[in-house]
Structures are given as structure tokens and as C-alpha cells.
Structure 1
Amino acid sequence: MHQKIQLQSNSPNLLLFLPIRPKILLLSLIHPKIQLPPKQSTKSAAPSTSSAAPQKSTKSAALSHQPENPPHTSASLSSLNPDPPSIQTNMTLQDLDHATALSHHPMTTRSRANISKPKQMFPGLIKYPLPKALLAVQEPSLHEPSCFTEASKQPQWRSAMNTEFTALLNNGTWSLVPSKSHVNLVGCKWVFRIKRHADGSIERYKARLVAKGFHQQPGIDYSETFSPVIKPITIRTVLSLAVASHWDIRQLDVTNAFLHGVLSEDVYMTQPPGFVHPSFPNHICRLHKAIYGLKQAPRAWFSRLSQRLLALGFHGSKSDTSLFIHNSERYISDLLKKTNMHEAKPVSSPMSSSTVLSKFGGTALSDPSTYRSIVGSLQYLSLTRPDLAFAVNKVCQYMSHPTEDHWSAVKRILRYLKHTIHHGLLLHRTTTFSLQAFSDADWASCPDDRRSTTGYCIYLGRNLISWSSRKQRTVSRSSTESEYRAIAHASTEILWLQSLLTELGMKSTIPPVLWCDNIGATYLTANPLFHARTKHIEIDVHFVRDLVSTKALTIRFISSKDQVADTFTKPLPTPKFNVLRDTLNVRELPLRLRGPIKTTSPDELQASDKHKPAVITEANSPNS
């Protein structure tokens, strides 16, 4: 029997809320004014339905019947459909479902025209990735096993266990020893996980052998378990400094990190399930390296990592033991050890102000190759240490025939490096790109050929970017001439830097300023007189004058006590040298390296010394 529904209403605005079918509510909204015909019996309704069916095939039998007097409808509804269909008072649920499924809207929709957009499926892509739980439910093979017995039945998990077991053997994690009754035996188990990509697809099946650390006993299997963890404040501080200072940030991950930790305690473990040695089934594993699950595994890994970082030249921070800092101090340390000067007494300046070196003084060294090797290392170091420029240039002048006096000067430079091992060239963040230079000359400073020494330094904003200390190629007849030649050398470097900055898009509208402490040389750059006294330096004169006349360069006078380039031309007393060194931005680095490089036993040092070349000692100097 079908349930019948009878609709009766005398209200001109009919709104029906029938909870039996949602489509009935739709009909009542489309036809708000419905005149109900007289109630008919079920038997009379059936013939009318069947007789109306052949007339219009697109309408149902219940809706084909038209009332004798159509109800009055509103203007909007009458314009859309002047003859709205009537509703029978006695209809079954099947008739009502069929009637309400028809649309009486005059617009041709996509559904009427059978127009549908085909779904495009892209292989390997999931627009809305399913959660891991749903994927596991859909495919039973994606279930993560809870024990070895369950995992051994599936080939992908057997392959994952074989891969992990092979890696443990290659790492030398344990060795098999006969079982001992007096030792504490730690169990182990397999843990299985499915590692997925970001879209939910499977990356690989991962099996990990984990020790049952709750079997360990304090004082027997482990002693210290604390392992430092980086503080979140330290991470945020370093990231903030990196953003402010435009540092590069790199991130890395160590595969199976805990497996690299070396154990200091004797830990014994059962053989892994499913991988018992067939020839030694009763043997147990003596662990040499940590595995996941051991209480001391994090501490062993941190100890191994910190030792390696210290050996590479990093130094642990005193504020956060998980923070390691590195700079170029390692190069200086190795150089001092190579020359056996790491325990020498430090000095405050690279060269004494009373030192006068000559190629004819002192006894010649028997093996000049060692001298040349050390001086070459100092030359490389002077690329980032402008405070060494003059002293290194001075000892470089005697590479062909070094003597004891020259070797003593080299050793003083090494002692100065020991004193300033934490120093380096400090670069500031700047928004100005104007060039400023200082030039100076020490007239007839060489006692052998009386040639002068030129020195200059150039700043880009606050940062020192170029410096030089060298002997002039010709002999100058006056201090003004030597100063003028120094101005010419500095001017050529300024022009090249301007060209470089222009190509980098940092062209400055302000002409560079060059400071000179010789007032005669400054006059010579702008005064066309003195022809009789300067005709032998005519090329340099015209070159600098052309730059000044075109306002491509500005020459200004500075007093000798404020001349920064003075440190590139002569050895200075220690107080003045320290002041000028700070002006060169050679300072103790804010993040300096501290702490020992590596803790090595005397036996290890003796063994390592057998494979190292002979070092220079105070007694075994190059001239011995």
C-alpha cells in the first residue's frame, strides 16, 4: 500500500510545510496559490492518469490533468507559465516523486540539454589527499605492522628490515659474543612506519631496530643520559641576526644520527628478531655504537657531533652549549702549530718600530724554502688582515736570500698573530656607497736602494675594501714626489672601484675623496706651476690633475696624526698602531671562537706526530 497525501487549503496564499518529502515544499513555493479540485476516489484517479499519459510524454500523469477553472496567479508566475499545473489531492508517494522531479522553468539548463563537464583525472596526482588513516582503511596492504611476525608476511616490510639490518652491520654497531649469565641483557624489537610524500603517496617503507631501554639498569648499562638541546630563544636570535646581516642560512639532516654515537659503557643486546645468526644462535650482541631506544643514545650522538665540529674549527658557545660558531681562526692555529709557535710569547705589534731590515744583514738561512713557505701563508692571511700588510710586504722583499734577521721578523709576526688570533676584518651594514681613500708614502725608507714605500686604503661607506703596501718602482727625489706617486697609485684603484660599482648598479653622485698628509702634493694636484720641478713625473701629474679638473676626484689635506694609511708605510709604536688598527676595522670579532679545539690524549698525539712533517722549533730554525 502506498501512502496517500491529501492537500486542502482555503487560504489565497498557500505555503505548505510537509516533512514527508522535501520536494513537496518545492512545489508549494513554486505555486503559492493552488485551487484544490474536489476529492476523487482512487479508482477514478487511475483512468485519468493513464489517459493523459499519451498526450504529453514529458509530463507525468498526475500533472497532466488541468482544472476547469485555473487559479489566479501573480504577474510573475503567469508570465513564466500561464497555465500552471494542478495537483491532485490523492497521490501516492511514487506519483509525487515523479511529479516533483520535473522542472517547469522555461530556461534551457545544462541538465536539460545533457551537457556535463567531463572529469579529468591526472595520473599520480591527488587534488585532495586523503588522510593516512583513510588510506590505511582503503588498502589493507598499507597497514603498519605492530610486530615482526605480521611484518614478515609482506615483501615490502621484509625488504625494509633487510635494508636496516645491512646498514647496522656496515656501521659496526655490534659484534656477536658468547652469552654471559652475569650481564644485563637488553631486548630489542622492530618498529615499522610508512613514510609519505606531501601529497599522501608512499615514499618508502621504513623499519627501525629499537632497543628496549627500559631493560637497562643505571650504573651498569648507562651512567649519564643528559643531552643538551638548543634553546628556541637561541634559534630565533640567530635567525634575527641572519636577516639583519644578510647571512646565508643552510639546513641539513644527518641520516640515522643516533647510530653514529660511540658507547663508553658495555651494553649487551639480544639478536634482532628474524635475524638470528644461524651459526651462533645463542650469542648476544655487544653494542659498540648507540641505537635508538638506549637511554644514553642522545648523549652519545651529541658527544660525537661536538667532537667533530670542534675538530673542524668550530667552538661551542658558553651561553648555549648547542650553539657552535666558526671563523678563520683555525688557519692561524694551524700556522702556529706548523711553525711550533703556538706556545710563544705574544706581542702587541707585528713589527717593532726600531726594526730596520736589509738584504745584506745577518747570516743566510741554510734552507730558504721553509722561510718562503711561511711567508706565503702570511701573504694569504693578509688578504683579510690589513694590519699585517706592511710587515708581510717587508719580509716578502727578502724571499730570494733570507737571513736570520728576516726569520726573526717573521717569528714576531707569528707572535703577533697569537696575540690577535680572535681578530678579523669587521664589515658593517651601510646604506652609503661613497668612496673615501687615504694615501701615504715613506720617502727613501729602503736602506738598500732608497726607494720609497707607498701605502693606501679605500673605504666603501664605513667598510674597508682595498688596501696596499708596496715599494715604489723608482727613486723619488723628494717626499712630495713620493707622496704624489702614492696619490697616483690610489687614484687608479679608485677609478677601477668606481667602474665596478657602476656595473653593480651602485653608482654614487658624490666624487671620491682622497686624503693626503703632504700639503705640497695636494697643491701639485691643482696648481699647473712647478713645471721645472715636476717634469720627470709628468705622466702622474697630468693623470691626477685631469681627475681633479673634471671633478672625478677630490684631494684633501689631513694631518699626519690622523693619517690612516700611515700603518701601511712604516712600523709604528704600539699605542699608535692599536689606534689605527681599530680605524681599519680590524677588531676582536663579536662572535669569536672560544674553547679547546679538540681533547686529545698524549698517546694519540704521539701516534699522529709520526705522520706529520717535521715542524720548526726555536732551536731548529731554518738556518740551523
Structure 2
Amino acid sequence: MITRSQSGIAKPIDRLSLNTFSIYPILKNLSHALQDPHRRNAIYDEYNVLVKNGTCLLLPRPVGVNMVRSMWLFKHKFHTNGNLSRYKARLVGNGSSQQLDVDFDKTFSPVVKLATIRMVLCLAMSRKWPLHQLDVKSAFLNGDLSKTVYMHQPPGFVDSRYPHHVCLLQRSLYGLKQAPRGCPSTRMSTSGYCVFLGDNLLSWSAKHQHTLSRSSAEAKYCGVVNVFAETTWLCILLRELHSPLLIATRVYCDNVRVLHVPSRYQYADIFTKGLPLALFEDF
């Protein structure tokens, strides 16, 4: 066997530099973070955004109300090439101290489905729509709360004139169980109208949720059922985007033969749909 060294072939060794001394470590202590100019600027930037949004209203503590605590979290934000972008600080509420039907009722996560983004981008590419991105800083914090939430004053920002006052939250805060529905929508402008990737599409799962009952014997068909559910979602999404499918979507499977079941045999529909009178009486 002939090696590279025997043949006089030399290849330089690229050694990775893992030196991170230029990046300050992530801190957990607020007093230490305030001594760091990078962290201190990030903290005041976050606090100024909360003040500008009117997130908190200071008032004397009412008697017998549930109080939520808050804390500061710190993190690093990096560019795609791995270089440090900026230091971030975030004030979060302790949602575990909230009480159901007292300071929150329903939880809602305003997250766009990845399939929604892909579908809209596919439409934009095929129809040559111009795309515009709207990036709202701390967009989540612009939502209103439907329940009254009382919180202790943020650590490090206790008003010296009213040290015993508490915050009445008028806007959402990270960490709370009650997430808002009113945050700004991400939008895509088209030549004739705008497609909003926000509440209208996000609430589809609550308005048009299809219940699929699965017994243990049907567990092996879950993959096909998931395909049907996702396909149904995409079909409704396309219809809402004024781009309905004109033909049925064909689903292939290697070990299941899927047959059409007529409406007169869909007995579960009586619990989930508004049926014609004859079909309803027959069921």
C-alpha cells in the first residue's frame, strides 16, 4: 500500500478555531447582566419596547388577586454564517403561576403552519406575484389580553416612588399561558390583493378541525389518515386563496387499498355535519 507521505503528497491541515472569548457568556443573574454593557443595552431596548407598547399599567395591588412573577432571559442571536448578530434580552412572565379562569382561559399559539408558507410561496412563484416581507419587532407583544393579569414589577425596574405597586398587563408578554390572537399578521402583497398569513389562516384548525377516530386496529393506517388530513387542509387553504383544485387529489399507498365510501354509509356524519333531511332521518 502506497501512502501519501511515501509519494510526497502533502495536504495542509485546516484547524478550526473554537475561540469564543469575544462573545460574552449567557448570564442568568440580572445584576451581573446590568454590569455588562452589551446586556444592559439589550435589557433597556426590551424594556423601552414594553413601555412604548403600553404593556404595563402601574397601580396599587388589589386585594385577593393572583400575582404573576417575571424574570429576564438572555440569549445570543447569530447570523447564518455563525457570527454573532446581537445580544438579546427578554422579559418573560411565569405562566405556571397563572390560574385557569382567573387570569387566563384558553391558550392559543399563533404559529403559521409550514405547509401554509410553502403553498403560498409556490403560488407566488407560479403566478409571478411580487413578495414583500414585513418584520415587526416584538410583534407578539402587540396583542391584547382578554383576561386581567397582575404581575410584580419587573426585576431591576421597580419604581422607587411606588415600590409596592403592581403591574396590570394590558398587552401580551412572553411566557404567559394566554397568548393573544390580535398580533400583526405576516402578509404577502400580490398584484391585486394581499394574502395575510395571520389570524384568518391560523384559526382554520379551530374552525374546520376534522376529527378522525382511530382504533388500535386502525393504527397501521395512521400514515394514510395523516395524508388525507393534510391533503384536506391544503385543499381548503387553496380554496381560501382563490386557487381551488379542479381535480381530486390522488393518494398512493403500497399496502392499503382505499375505497370510496358513499355518504349513506358515513354514519358518523350525523355527529359532525349538517345533513340533508332524508339522510338525517335515515340515520
Q: Spell out the pairing of 1:159-558 with structure 2 (5 A cutoff).
A: 159-227=41-109, 229-297=111-179, 300=180, 302-305=181-184, 321-322=201-202
Question: 1:182, CA displacement in angstroms?
Answer: 0.5
- Could you tell me how far apart the structure 2 residues matched to 1:305 and 1:233 are? 20
Structure 2 equivalent of residue 457 of structure 1: none
Aligned AA (2:148): D
Question: 1:253, CA displacement in angstroms?
Answer: 2.0
Q: TM-score, normalised by structure 2?
A: 0.58
Q: Is the 8 A contact 2:195 2:241 kept in 1?
A: no
Aligned AA (2:33): A
Question: 5+ unaligned residues in a row in structure 1: which ranges?
Answer: 1-25, 30-104, 106-126, 325-588, 593-624
- Aligned CA distance change for structure 1 residues 590 and 220 (closer, same or farther; 3 Å): closer
Question: 1:239, CA displacement in angstroms?
Answer: 2.4
Question: 1:241, CA displacement in angstroms?
Answer: 2.2
- Could you tell me how far apart the structure 1 residues matched to 2:36 and 2:150 are? 30
Aligned AA (1:305): P
- Could you tell me how far apart the structure 2 residues matched to 1:186 and 1:258 are? 19
Q: Is the 8 A contact 2:26 2:76 kept in 1?
A: yes
Structure 1 equivalent of residue 242 of structure 2: 591
Q: Deviation per CA, 1:496-526, whole angstroms, max 9, x where unpaired?
A: xxxxxxxxxxxxxxxxxxxxxxxxxxxxxxx
**Any idea what SS the aligned residue of 1:242 has?**
helix
Q: Is the 8 A contact 2:70 2:154 kept in 1?
A: yes
- Could you tell me how far apart the structure 2 residues matched to 1:129 and 1:281 are? 51
List, as ranges, runs of 4+ consecutive aligned residues in structure 1 with deviation greater than 6 Å.
Answer: 313-317
- Aligned CA distance change for structure 1 residues 231 and 202 (closer, same or farther; 3 Å): closer
Question: 1:174, CA displacement in angstroms?
Answer: 0.6
Question: 1:222, CA displacement in angstroms?
Answer: 0.7
Structure 2 equivalent of residue 66 of structure 1: none
Question: 1:228, CA displacement in angstroms?
Answer: 5.2
Question: 1:142, CA displacement in angstroms?
Answer: 1.2
Report percent identity of matched pairs.
40
Q: Is the 8 A contact 1:188 1:212 kept in 2?
A: yes
Q: Deviation per CA, 1:311-347, whole angstroms, max 9, x where unpaired?
A: xx86889xx72399xxxxxxxxxxxxxxxxxxxxxxx
- Aligned CA distance change for structure 1 residues 228 and 271 (closer, same or farther; 3 Å): closer
**Any idea what SS the aligned residue of 1:208 has?**
strand
- Could you tell me how far apart the structure 2 residues matched to 1:590 and 1:166 are? 38
Number of aligned residues: 195
Question: 1:288, CA displacement in angstroms?
Answer: 0.5
Greater RCO structure (CA 8 Å; 6+ sep)? 2
- Aligned CA distance change for structure 1 residues 190 and 239 (closer, same or farther; 3 Å): same
- Could you tell me how far apart the structure 1 residues matched to 2:58 and 2:162 are? 8
Question: 1:278, CA displacement in angstroms?
Answer: 0.5
Aligned AA (1:273): P
Q: TM-score, normalised by structure 1?
A: 0.28
Q: Is the 8 A contact 1:192 1:208 kept in 2?
A: yes
Q: Deviation per CA, 1:142-196, whole angstroms, max 9, x where unpaired?
A: 1010121331232221222122212211211111111234111100000111223
- Aligned CA distance change for structure 1 residues 590 and 178 (closer, same or farther; 3 Å): closer
Q: Deviation per CA, 1:369-404, whole angstroms, max 9, x where unpaired?
A: xxxxxxxxxxxxxxxxxxxxxxxxxxxxxxxxxxxx
- Could you tell me how far apart the structure 1 residues matched to 2:32 and 2:165 are? 25
Aligned AA (1:285): C
Aligned AA (1:303): G
- Could you tell me how far apart the structure 1 residues matched to 2:30 and 2:241 are? 54
Structure 2 equivalent of residue 149 of structure 1: 31
Q: Is the 8 A contact 1:316 1:323 kept in 2?
A: no
Higher helix share: 1
- Aligned CA distance change for structure 1 residues 272 and 241 (closer, same or farther; 3 Å): same
Give me the CA root mean square deviation: 3.8
**Any idea what SS the aligned residue of 2:101 has?**
coil
**Any idea what SS the aligned residue of 1:142 has?**
coil
Question: 1:248, CA displacement in angstroms?
Answer: 2.2
- Aligned CA distance change for structure 1 residues 129 and 260 (closer, same or farther; 3 Å): farther
- Aligned CA distance change for structure 1 residues 238 and 143 (closer, same or farther; 3 Å): same
Q: Is the 8 A contact 2:60 2:165 kept in 1?
A: yes
- Aligned CA distance change for structure 1 residues 315 and 238 (closer, same or farther; 3 Å): closer
Question: 1:590, CA displacement in angstroms?
Answer: 7.6
- Could you tell me how far apart the structure 1 residues matched to 2:114 and 2:78 are? 28
Question: 1:208, CA displacement in angstroms?
Answer: 0.9
Question: 1:276, CA displacement in angstroms?
Answer: 0.6
Aligned AA (1:210): V
Q: Rg bigger for which structure?
A: 1
- Aligned CA distance change for structure 1 residues 303 and 314 (closer, same or farther; 3 Å): farther
Question: 1:210, CA displacement in angstroms?
Answer: 0.7
